[in-house]
Amino acid sequence: MKLLNKISLYYIFNTAVLFIVGLFAIYFSVDWIIADSSDGQLRDTATEITLKLTRGIKTEYPPLIEIKELSTEPHIKSAFKDTTVYLESENDNEAYRQYTVYKKINDRNYRITVRNSLIEKEDLFSTILIILTIILTLLLIILSLINRYSARKIFKPFYDNLTQLEKFSLNKNDSIVLADSNIEEFNELTKALTKLAEKALKEYRSLKEFSENLSHELQTPVAVIKAKIELLLQKEFADPDLPASLQSIMNNADKLDKLNRTLILLTKLDTADLFPIQKILLSERIERTLDNFSDAIQNKEIKLRTNLGSKLNIEFNDNLLDILLSNLISNSIKHNIHGGELFIALNDAVLVIKNNGKEPKQNPENYFKRFVYGEKLQNSLGLGLAIVKKICDMYGMEITYQFINGLHMIELNFNKTKDTK
């Protein structure tokens, strides 16, 4: 729920409670005032009638004024009473306030009844209710108009900044620029966010620098280890287990080396400037990559089918395209089954790679993260698809992975890199 709506809702709720209380307060006070003034009036009229009777004039005006002579003297006090009287003209019972006085005038006993028509309470109540409801409705309409206006004007810098924040990425390496507004809270938020972003950028840069340096520093010791082992492997060994141990050290040093190189590449991929683009015929490049892997394809007796009719030219970095295609095709061979199928098609700008393989045990979305293995293989670092994803992100390309009917399927859309010249 939007902030403005939330505030409005509280406002409306409280106002409604206040209106209900007000409704009863107004009703009872109006009712009391009317009754009070009406009773005074009735008393005055009764006094007047009594005075006239003393003078011998009998004024009657039923049902408002009724005078009755009584045979005996009733010892009843004068009293007010709410009553109803049947009116022939209306053919209905109407509400009246009546005042009855018993008086002995000139030795005759009289009962004087004075009546005043009452406003019906129901009418009074509903009138007040209608008026208050109209006011409440008007208030709501005005409030919503104000809200819409506020959302557009007052909240504009807020929403603008929100868009900026959504676009903000540590990778892009540019600091965030947020708009000022004339609202104190928003300005404070802007200030805090700018500070936060700067801090995050600074720390991200220093972390990146650290990992870059670390990777480069690691290369020399790994080089020394590898060289020493290679030298040792030339020797004759009395203990037959020793060469195997040395070989195992060598393999792990190799793995460390590959891992390190890949991580260096991953950090480099954050800087797009390092990779100038050029025009490349995609289908030709795919064929060349497949040719490079022909040994691996034959070795696993994989049935390869291609459909590379599309003559799509793309604007891409030469090296990165090699890395991208190599990683994808290498994966489709490595994770294939012996004698499995590999299908590669380029339809317009969409590259589809389908291959047999074991069912994924992982959530496929995780494949694009670092160090997530679908199937742990001896010759695998778990970084291949992370690199692919990073290259795709760099070019704003979409990549999807699916597993359907025993086939792994990767779809890659080159539309954004299309050479338009």
Quote the least distance from Cβ 284 to other proteins, whole Å: 17
Shorter beta-carbon distance to other proteins: residue 59 or 247: 247
- Residue whose C-alpha is closest to residue 128's, from 20, 230, 245: 20
Shorter beta-carbon distance to other proteins: residue 1 or 231: 231
Quote the least distance from Cβ 240 to other proteins, whole Å: 7
Quote the least distance from Cβ 202 to other proteins, whole Å: 25
Shorter beta-carbon distance to other proteins: residue 132 or 337: 337
Shorter beta-carbon distance to other proteins: residue 100 or 332: 332
Token pair 């293989």 in the structure block, residue:
377
Quote the least distance from Cβ 246 to other proteins, whole Å: 8
Quote the least distance from Cβ 184 to other proteins, whole Å: 50
Interface residue list for other proteins (CB under 8 A): 216, 219-220, 222-228, 230-231, 233-234, 240, 243-244, 246-247, 250-251, 253-254, 257, 261, 264-265, 292-293, 295-297, 299-300, 319, 326-327, 329-330, 333-334, 377-379, 384
Quote the least distance from Cβ 300 to other proteins, whole Å: 8
> Phi/psi of residue 109, each to 5°?
-95, 130
Quote the least distance from Cβ 286 to other proteins, whole Å: 14
- CA dist 170 and 280 (Å) reads 30
Q: Which residues contact 369 (CB under 8 A, 6 or more apart)?
A: 386
Count the alpha carbons within 13 Å of 229 in the hemisphere toward its beta carbon: 18
Quote the least distance from Cβ 229 to other proteins, whole Å: 9
Shorter beta-carbon distance to other proteins: residue 88 or 239: 239
Quote the least distance from Cβ 330 to other proteins, whole Å: 4
Bridge pairing between strands 398-404 and 407-413: antiparallel
Do you find a cis peptide bond into 74, omega within 30 degrees of 0? no
Quote the least distance from Cβ 350 to other proteins, whole Å: 23
Shorter beta-carbon distance to other proteins: residue 136 or 232: 232
